[in-house]
Amino acid sequence: MDPLILLALQEDITSEDITTNAVIKAGVRAQVDLIAKEAGIIAGLAVYQRVFELLDPAATIEKFVSDGDTVNPGDLLGVVEADTRTLLSGERTALNYLQRMSGIATHTRKLVGYLSGTNTRLLDTRKTTPNMRIFEKYAVTVGGGYNHRYNLSDGILIKDNHINAAGGVKEAIAATKKVAPFVRKIEVEVENLEMLRQALEAGADIIMLDNMDMETLKAAIKIVNGQAITECSGNVTEVRLKELSEIGVDFISCGALTHSSPILDLSMKNLRLL
């Protein structure tokens, strides 16, 4: 994660932190409190800490919570100690990571709750913020969700445009099987029951049922009948989650986990010189 964090720091400190360097001289150590301003699930403490360590190798943090813990407004989550300039210059970057990751974990935990008591698992997608994927997908797991493929090299997923380019579902699967390693599962996105039947006949391992209404989804699950792993995607709302799990789908993928989760409000307060 270091190269990504360094890019974020370079974005915020192109040459120097003019305000901080004017206010405080170098070499003066200080402590500051990390405080929760709203309730949620904390995620990303190691990333938060690493921001300060990259600016000051002697930086330390005393943590009172761990990733996955529930926090409430006013809770003291930790105390950071470092060069005062480091605390002031790194504050926004460190909080940006921690707030974003904690917001994703909080949203994920809420949605996973709708699947309680079922065998259906909630997945993220590749709809992540550029250069934030490693952090956002980790946050999903902290919230109780699961990761879909990490990137294009991590798994085979034949989507609508692949099918169009290949000339059909069966053609796309056949072309993939010629070059894909035998240890790789082949997932195919289908939009209707005819495409589903073609994917099953061609030997797809995983069927993504994309943007289907509930009646079509129920029919699709019956047709699959255990011949392949099933995944539902598209229009995954809180209201639909329970319904989707009750029809027996194996996985539900939800892009909103990473592209629409609000941040968890956190702050650094009470800076004191040592």
Measured torsion, CA atoms of residues 22, 26, 30, 35, in degrees rounded to the nearest 10: 50
Q: Is 126 a catalytic residue?
A: no
Nearest to 224 by CA among 252, 251, 253, 249: 249
Q: Is 67 a catalytic residue?
A: no
Q: Is 92 a catalytic residue?
A: yes
Report how far residue 228's alpha carbon sits from residue 197's, in angstroms, rounded to the nearest whole number.
11
First to last CA, the chain: 30
Which of 29, 92, 121, 197 is labelled catalytic? 92
Strand 60-63 to strand 186-190: parallel, antiparallel, or no bridges (unpaired)? unpaired
Which of 159, 197, 218, 240 is labelled catalytic? 159
Q: Is 178 a catalytic residue?
A: no
Measured torsion, CA atoms of residues 46, 153, 236, 218, in degrees rounded to the nearest 10: -140
Q: Is 159 a catalytic residue?
A: yes
- 199, amino acid identity: A
Please list the residues that pair with 181 across neighbouring strands.
none
Cβ neighbours, 10 Å, residue 235: 12
Nearest to 193 by CA among 175, 213, 176: 213
Handedness of CA 237, 240, 244, 245 (dihedral sign): positive
Which of 53, 189, 231, 250 is labelled catalytic? 189
Contact indicator for 87, 56 with CB cutoff of 8 Å: no
Nearest to 117 by CA among 241, 259, 19, 204: 241
Which of 53, 83, 136, 210 is labelled catalytic? 210
Strand 29-36 to strand 229-233: parallel, antiparallel, or no bridges (unpaired)? unpaired
Which of 127, 149, 197, 240 is labelled catalytic? 127
Point out the residues that are catalytic.
92, 127, 159, 189, 210
